[in-house]
Homo-oligomer: A and B are copies of this chain.
Amino acid sequence: MVRVSWCEGLRFEAEDQHGHKIIVDTEKEFGGSDMGFRPLQLFLVGLAGCMGMDIVGILQKKGGKISSFVIEASGVRAENHPHKYTKITLMFKCEGVYKREDLLRSFELSRDKYCSAVATLSSKPELEFII
């Protein structure tokens, strides 16, 4: 469970069950104060983080020595409201000493078997609202 609390303007603070906190905010021109990530971009971070953990963990178990692992994530948004992401692109850059086939296999295992974020985005979870 996470708790997302309004601060002021359009700025919110999110807190998880372990006490970690994140500021979510938007552009000043829209009434925000630009003090944190935009909400929709957290989908990109969640997806990249989830796959990144899978891939790094699996590749290391296969004996890979990783010196750098970076994911650049971007989304294409629909022109009209509600401006949903129609496409999300993740570009992976892995440096270190490892076999290319092991990296690809780690990626495939994440995409096809282990990544909760990929599976969630690919399955239209039920949304329930209590207000």
Contact = CB atoms under 8 A, between A and B. Distances in A.
Contacts of A35: 20
Interface string A10-23: 10101010101011
A53 to B, nearest CB: 5
A45 B39 contact: yes
**Complex copy number for this chain:** 2
Interface residues of A, number: 86
B126 A86 contact: yes
Interface in A85-131: 85-92, 94, 103-104, 107, 111, 113-131
Given A1-B72, A114-B81, A119-B84, A6 B124 contact: no
B125 A85 contact: yes
A69 B24 contact: no
**Top-9 shortest CB links A-B:** A42-B46, A39-B49, A84-B119, A6-B69, A24-B49, A39-B50, A4-B48, A82-B119, A91-B130
